[in-house]
Amino acid sequence: MKVVLFCGGYGMRMRNSVDDMVPKPMQMIGPRPLIWHVMRYYAHFGHKEFILCLGYGAAHIKNYFLTYQEAASNDFVMRGGQVQLMHSDISDWSISFVDTGLESAIGERLRRVRDHLKGDEYFLANYADVLSDAPLDDMIEQFHQYGATASMMVVPPQSSFHCVEVSENGEVKDIIAVSKLPIWENGGFFVLSQEIFDLLPPGGDLVADVCGTLAGQGKLFGYRYEGFWKPADTFKERAELESRYHSGDRPWMLWEKPVGAASGAR
> 3-class secondary structure for the chain?
CCEEEEECCCCHHHCCCCCCCCCHHHCEECCEEHHHHHHHHHHHCCCCEEEEEECCCHHHHHHHHHCCCHHHCCCEEEECCEEEECCCCCCCCEEEEEECCCCCCHHHHHHHCHHHHCCCCEEEEECCCEEECCCHHHHHHHHHHHCCCEEEEEECCCCCCEEEEECCCCCEEEEEEHHHCCCCEEEEEEEEEHHHHHHCCCCCCHHHHHHHHHCCCCCEEEEECCCCEEECCCHHHHHHHHHHHHHCCCCCCHHHCCCCCCCCCC
The pTM (predicted TM-score) of the whole model is 0.87
Predicted local confidence at residue 45, as pLDDT = 97
CATH entry, 3-256, from 3.40.50.620, 3.90.550.10, 3.10.180.10, 3.40.640.10: 3.90.550.10
pLDDT by residue, tens only, the chain of 266 residues:
999 999 987 754 444 544 456 788 999 999 999 999 999 999 999 999 999 999 999 999 999 999 987 777 767 788 877 777 767 788 899 999 999 999 999 999 999 999 999 989 999 999 999 999 999 999 999 999 999 999 999 999 887 778 898 988 988 988 887 777 778 999 999 999 999 999 999 999 999 999 999 998 999 999 999 999 999 988 889 999 999 999 999 999 999 887 655 555 45
